[in-house]
Structures are given as C-alpha cells and as structure tokens.
Structure 1
C-alpha cells in the first residue's frame, strides 16, 4: 500500500525579520552560500555581519562554483552539494556527477550519487548501478541497496546483464539486499521471472522478508498464476498478519475478480491493518458493491483505513464521494488523513473538488499548512488551472513583510519546468526581500524567459545582494 522545503521564515525584530540561522538555511537551499560552515571559531571572535560574509571579490558563476566543488571539493562537501542540486532540480551537471562516480573510491559518496540519480530520474546511470551489482559481495550494503533501487525506480527496461545481476543478488544470503532485488525484479522483470517466484512462494521455510518480497513482486508482475496461492495466504488466519496484508495488496494489483469476495470480507474484518490493505486492493476493481464498501471505509475508526479509502476514491474518480472527502479534508482528527483528502480532491475531475481546493487556498483564515498543501497538490495535478491562484496570491501577499504563501509560490515556480505569466516573474524580481528576488531570478532563468534578460542583467551588480548577483549571473546563462 502506497504511503508518500525550507522551514517557515521565523518572525523577528527589525525591518527584515529574518534570523541569521534561518537566512543561512534559506541560502543553502538556494545553493548560494558554501555548503559547509566552520564548526568552531576562536573564543571572543567578533561575529561578521551578513554583508561581510557575502560581499567580496567577484566570484565565478554559480554553475562554475558547483562544478569546481565536484572536481576538487572534499567528499563531504560534494555530498552536501548533491543535496543542494537535488533540491534545485539541477540537471546541467549530470555528466560531471557521472564521471565523479567512476573516479571515486568512497562508497558513501557513490551511494549518494546513485541516490541523486534516482531522485532526479537520471536515465543513463544503469552502467554505474551495474558496476555495483556485479560486485555485490564486496560493496557495503547501503551502496548495494542504492544501486538496486536506482534500477527498480528509474531503469524502465534493464539490460539482461542487469537483470541477471539482480537475480544473483536475489538468491544471496544478505536478506535486505535479496528482498530489495526481488522487488526490483517484480517491477522491471518480465514473464520469465514469474515461474521462479511462484516456486519460491511455495517455500514456507523462507524468511518472512523474502516471502513478503516474493508476494509483492508477483503482484507487480500481474502474475495470475499466483492467484490461488495468494487467496489461500490472504484468507489463512494462521499466516503472519503482514504476509496476509501483502497478499491482499498483490491480489488487488493482479486484478483478478476471483479476489473480490475475499477482499470485501477482509475489508470489514477485525484486523485493522488487514482492513486497510484490503480496502486499498478493492480500489483496483469497478463494482457497485465495492464502491459502497470504499465509501463506508471513509468512516473507519482506524486512520490508515481512511487513507486507503481516499486513495481508492481518487483512483475511481468517485464523484459521489466528494462531500465526505471534503469533510475529511476539513474535519478529520488525523492530519495525515486531511492531507490525503486534499491529495485525492486534487486528482479528481469533478469541478466541485477544484472549487473546494481553490477556496481552501485563498481563504486567509484557513490553516496555513492546509493552504500550502492544497496549492502544491493543485500545481502537481493541473498547472494551467493553478496559475490564476499564483496570480491572486502574488497580488494579495506581495506587500506583506513575511508570507509563507508567497514563499511557497516562489518555491513552486522556481523548481518547476512550467512557465508562468511574465507579471509573476516581475513581481518577484521587484520584491524588497532578496530571497523572493532569487525565486524570481531562478524561475526566469529556468524557463529561459529571454524577455527578462535585460531586467535580470541589472541585478548582477551592486547594490544588489551578493546572493542575488550570483543567482542573476547563473540565470543569464540559461536565457
């Protein structure tokens, strides 16, 4: 069953209202200050001002600075830089990072590179992952797991050499690596994987994690050959509860209608976690009685069941459930359920769902965290329909000294590949807070808005903040 950045600006005294700690954190997020700071200073040293810390001789462009860290930086500096590049969704340095992986002998650094490739969905990292997989007996477990997960999550059609290496790891004695490799074979393997996995499923002496991984892999492979055994496992009260939960999940993934009666029975049973898995599995089937159980599960006393029901409602695009989903978004006692309700509404096609979320975002008396969540989910699901919300937020929040909503708009537009109307970029560029200016600069550069080139070029010199000047120089390279 599926489950799925910068902290709030602190209010403070003075016209700018930003504490030094928060400011440094924001700048690290934006990639505009060094990723390491001194742990100690001489006793009695005078703390430099922010201007003294950031002003100075002309520096290389931001991308050049990052490239130098990749080429010459300490391993821990490179690891921290990878986090910055990940947060920035920075894709221009893939070749340098791939070369760094080939040259490095530091397992932790190589692990972080593969994790970066996974998060960024870098398509050409299979050779790097294969190097690790073929040396699975010698490499640290964390590095091996990073390689397996990269293949599992990013490589749509692995080479036969990669699949063969995964099979070897899956047969190994390292339980965590073996179960992760089995899951990868389920996601990226073909029909040739089904027979051996069904055979392993019948081995009741296998460790529980291995058996669970086999069950889930068969679900990913939509293996109808496993339905009878999965039905037996899911309905057998002697089996471990976790094993039964995974069997129910895989029955839903396979989608064989033979499973509906048992899943409906489990969805109203006494085992709370098994109820949640069964409700989630029922979301794969279209049936009036199934939908009735899903809607009733929105009132279940166990919050995970309600989350599973909300996921199923979104999958079915169940218009009839919108009123109760709206209620869950506003009134559910569990924050995770409220968040899932907002996510579900953002995925639904009924205009009532979008109207509700738009009103939630624009309602200044609504909890700020809910407004931010709703705005992010709307942007994820329908960018074009969310742009008018951006415009209204910019208009109403621009004059406020601190605004989390405006900050969220800045984060979204500066990390998305989708463009916005020019007026939005300009309002951020004109904002008195230099962090907001940087959001506008980064967005304009990311989207290649050449019409703003002259405007941004004026921000590369004094009296603009050094961080603004560096961001502007970098943005001009993209325009």
Structure 2
C-alpha cells in the first residue's frame, strides 16, 4: 500500500512540474511577443496604384485586358502613361489597343506616331496602320489628310475604306473635290463608291452638291449610293435639295425613302414637314423610325398626335420606343399621361416599362419621374420584381437629379446585395451629401466584399 502511495505522489509531483513549466514557457513567449517591435502592415494599394503596376510590370495580355476595362469604364487616367508605353511596346496587339484607347478618349498623345506611320504605312503591321487611320479620324488630325489621299490614290484595299472615311471627317473642300473625282474612277468597287459618297456627306462641301444631286436622281445608280447622296444634298443645301428629295420620296424603294427623310430632317419648310408627317405613316418601319427622329429633332408639335398613335399601336417595338422618347422630349401632356398609365398597369411587361422610364427620366418630366420612383419603390417591396428593380436602378444611375435621393437611400438600405450595389451606382452619379454616412457604413461593415470595395472607392474618390 505504501509503495502505491509513493508512486501516486511521484506522478502528481511530475505532473505539477510539467504544468508549471508549460505555463512559464507560455508566459515567457507572451512577454517576448509584447516586447517585440510592432511589424508595420503596409496599407492596401488603391485601385489606381494596382492598375499602374499592371501597366508597368504586367504581361502584354494583362495590359491589353486592363486597357479594355479602362475603355469600358471611360477611365482616361493613364492616357499619358499609355502614350509613353507605345514606343517600347513590342506586341502588335498591345500597340493597337493603346491606339484604340487614345482614339476612344480623343487623346492627342500619339499624333506624331500617327503621322509617321501614315506617311509611310507599308513598314508597319496592317492592323496598326488601320488603327492609326481610325485614330486620325477620331481626333480630327487634319495634318494626316495628304497621307490619307496618298493611300486612297494607291487603291490599297486594306486601307481604302478607312482612309476615305477618315478623310471625310478631317478633310477640306479640296479633299472633297478629290473624292468626287475619285468616285468617277471605273476601277472602284460598289462598296468603295458607297464609302466615298458617305464621306462627301460628312464633308458637306458645297462644290460637290451638283455631283451628289445627279447621283441621287440617277435610277441606274447603285441603291446605296443614291441613299447616301440623298442624305448628303440635304445637309449641304437644305432648301435647294428639298424639291429633289420630295420627288424622290415617291420611290418604291423604302431604303431610299428613309434617306430622303434623313435629307429633309433639317428643312423646316411647310412642304418638307408635310413629307415628314406623311413618313410617320409609311408602310416600312425604317421610314417611320427616321421620321420620328426628324420630328423630334425639329420639335414639331404638330406631330404629337401621330406620335401618340404610333406609341399606342405600332407593330414594331423599336418604333414604339422611339415615340416614347419623342413624346417625352416634346413634353406632350397626352403622351406623358399615356406613358405613366403604362407604368401603373400591372399587366404590362417589364421591358416596356423600362423603356418608358428611360424616356421620362432622360427628359426629367416631373410627373413621369415621380411615377418611375413610385414604381421602383414597389419593386423594393417585392422580390419577384428584382429584375425590374435592377433595370430601373440602372436608369436612375444615368442621371443627376436631386429628386433621386430618397430612392437611392432605399436601394442602399435593401437586404439584397445587387440592389445595394445599384444604390451605390446611383450615389456615384449624384453624390448625395446626406447619404455619404450610409455609403461609409457599407464600406466599413457590409458583409459583401465586392460592395465594401465599391463603397470604399466612392468614399476615397
């Protein structure tokens, strides 16, 4: 018995020593931890810094992908850096994407490079030459005109149509005469002739009026050439072209009638307007659609009854939607009341309602805006209507309007992640001071990491 007691006592003593030793080690480790100097955790890089790193150190395909994102987001922050990168870029895909990006933002940082390539285009990749032709057109690089004419004279099919289009945007009266003369060449394809006529229409050179009028009248000419010529003469000499165009409106070709309406769109004479009103009843939807745009741009109140009828009854949705836009633009009471009734009708589809909402918000029609907000509030209370909720939110996010503050707040407070994200989009456009604290709370506390990042970017911006 005594032996057993001795053994038990020895075991207890050993266990106590072990526990004391472990506790002492843990305490020492804790003390060392508290005495160790604090390690600084570097602040997370901003989105701008991360993107700059990709541009400087990323692989070509990563840089190309980022440039596509910048174009999509309309973010021109890095244009100077991209222009500097162009000279050292080895990849054709990267070069072309840099050019496209600078063209998209109409940034002049590649002017010298563009002129050098267009002066001697045959030492460069074809895609790069084409990209610089588009760039010259987009930034209106008039110094490139002689080089474009040289390309056109050489009949290089790879660059001909692009060069013609660019010359139409940046050229002079002399360039217009050059193109008109070039049109007479027998070696041109129909497509090349069509592009020349479109370019002449853009140049609006008075000296080419007679030649274009002859093309429009010529029934043996290619149909598309006649169409583009009809539009062109209406932009060059609106009054003189009116009689020619009115005669052409009797054509059995609906495409020609469509372009006659384009040509008459700037003419406010009674006889021209009579054709526009008649065109609203044309059997071909493209002619009706063109007429809707024309009477809207002329702010022709006399067209409102026809526009309302078409909005209510046209078989083509695209014509209906254009009529919504025109009626809202003209702030026609009967038209606006009809559109509001569509928003309030539970039997109508979501696509139709979004189109109506888009027009009412675009032109800031007070009664219409209130109705769109009321509809959005209903969708916030009904998760079966999430898709309509998102679509309306996207429309709100397109416009600055102090009246959107309450609906923006409602979106931000939604339990649905995507709805809160849409609310952030509305906030981004409007920057409501009263909602900044709510956005900050999303940045700090939201469970959705993507929303936290989005909100942080808005607060930091």
Q: TM-score, normalised by structure 1?
A: 0.76
Alpha-carbon distance in 1 for matches of 2:106, 2:401: 18
Residues 73 and 188 of structure 1: is their aligned pair in 2 closer, same or farther, counting only changes over 3 Å? Answer: same
1:387-421 Cα shifts (integer Å, max 9, x gaps): 54553343222222243332123324445566664
More contact order relative to length (CA 8 Å, sep ≥ 6): 1
Match of 2:285 among 286, 303, 317: 303
Shift of residue 475 of structure 1?
A: 1.0
Alpha-carbon distance in 2 for matches of 1:387, 1:83: 34
Equivalent pairs counted in the alignment come to 419
Alpha-carbon distance in 2 for matches of 1:346, 1:128: 46
Q: Please tell me whether the aligned partners of residues 299 and 330 of structure 2 are also in contact (alpha carbons under 8 angstroms).
A: yes
Alpha-carbon distance in 1 for matches of 2:44, 2:370: 38
Q: How large is the Cα RMSD of the aligned pairs?
A: 3.3
Match of 1:282 in 2: 264
**Does 1:269 pair with 2:251?**
yes
Alpha-carbon distance in 1 for matches of 2:341, 2:115: 49
Q: Please tell me whether the aligned partners of residues 276 and 295 of structure 2 are also in contact (alpha carbons under 8 angstroms).
A: yes
Q: Please tell me whether the aligned partners of residues 114 and 147 of structure 1 are also in contact (alpha carbons under 8 angstroms).
A: yes
Match of 2:406 in 1: 423
Structure 1 stretch 190-199 or stretch 91-100: which is displaced more? 91-100
1:326-359 Cα shifts (integer Å, max 9, x gaps): 2323332223323333333344354444444444
**Does 1:211 pair with 2:196?**
no
Match of 2:447 in 1: 464
Structure 1 residues not aligned, in runs of 5+? 1-57
Q: Please tell me whether the aligned partners of residues 372 and 408 of structure 1 are also in contact (alpha carbons under 8 angstroms).
A: yes
Summarize the alignment of residues 56-95 of structure 1 with structure 2, pairs less than 5 Å apart: 60-95=45-80
Summarize the alignment of residues 26-425 of structure 1 with structure 2, pairs less than 5 Å apart: 60-120=45-105, 126=111, 129-130=114-115, 133-134=118-119, 136-153=121-138, 155=139, 157-160=140-143, 162-175=144-157, 177-382=159-364, 387-389=369-371, 391-401=373-383, 402-414=385-397, 421-425=404-408
Question: What SS does the corresponding residue of 2:259 show, helix, strand or coil?
Answer: helix
Shift of residue 467 of structure 1?
A: 0.5
Residues 226 and 324 of structure 1: is their aligned pair in 2 closer, same or farther, counting only changes over 3 Å? Answer: same
Question: What SS does the corresponding residue of 1:220 show, helix, strand or coil?
Answer: helix
Hey, which bits of structure 1, 4+ residues long, moved more than 6 A? 383-386
Alpha-carbon distance in 2 for matches of 1:188, 1:250: 16
1:426-468 Cα shifts (integer Å, max 9, x gaps): 2221111112212223443454445444322222345521101
Q: Please tell me whether the aligned partners of residues 413 and 419 of structure 1 are also in contact (alpha carbons under 8 angstroms).
A: no
1:94-136 Cα shifts (integer Å, max 9, x gaps): 4444445454333333333444445555575655654654553
Shift of residue 240 of structure 1?
A: 1.3
Residues 475 and 127 of structure 1: is their aligned pair in 2 closer, same or farther, counting only changes over 3 Å? Answer: farther
Match of 2:5 in 1: none
Residues 94 and 297 of structure 1: is their aligned pair in 2 closer, same or farther, counting only changes over 3 Å? Answer: same
1:142-169 Cα shifts (integer Å, max 9, x gaps): 444443334434x2x5352x33333333
Alpha-carbon distance in 2 for matches of 1:386, 1:89: 30
Structure 1 stretch 248-257 or stretch 92-101: which is displaced more? 92-101
Residues 242 and 293 of structure 1: is their aligned pair in 2 closer, same or farther, counting only changes over 3 Å? Answer: same
Shift of residue 363 of structure 1?
A: 4.2
Alpha-carbon distance in 1 for matches of 2:423, 2:330: 31
Structure 2 residues not aligned, in runs of 5+? 1-42
Residues 463 and 374 of structure 1: is their aligned pair in 2 closer, same or farther, counting only changes over 3 Å? Answer: closer
Shift of residue 249 of structure 1?
A: 1.5
Question: What SS does the corresponding residue of 2:122 show, helix, strand or coil?
Answer: coil
Shift of residue 300 of structure 1?
A: 2.0
Match of 2:24 in 1: none
- Which of the pair has more CA radius of gyration? 2
Structure 1 stretch 254-263 or stretch 226-235: which is displaced more? 254-263
Residues 81 and 203 of structure 1: is their aligned pair in 2 closer, same or farther, counting only changes over 3 Å? Answer: same
Alpha-carbon distance in 1 for matches of 2:328, 2:103: 26
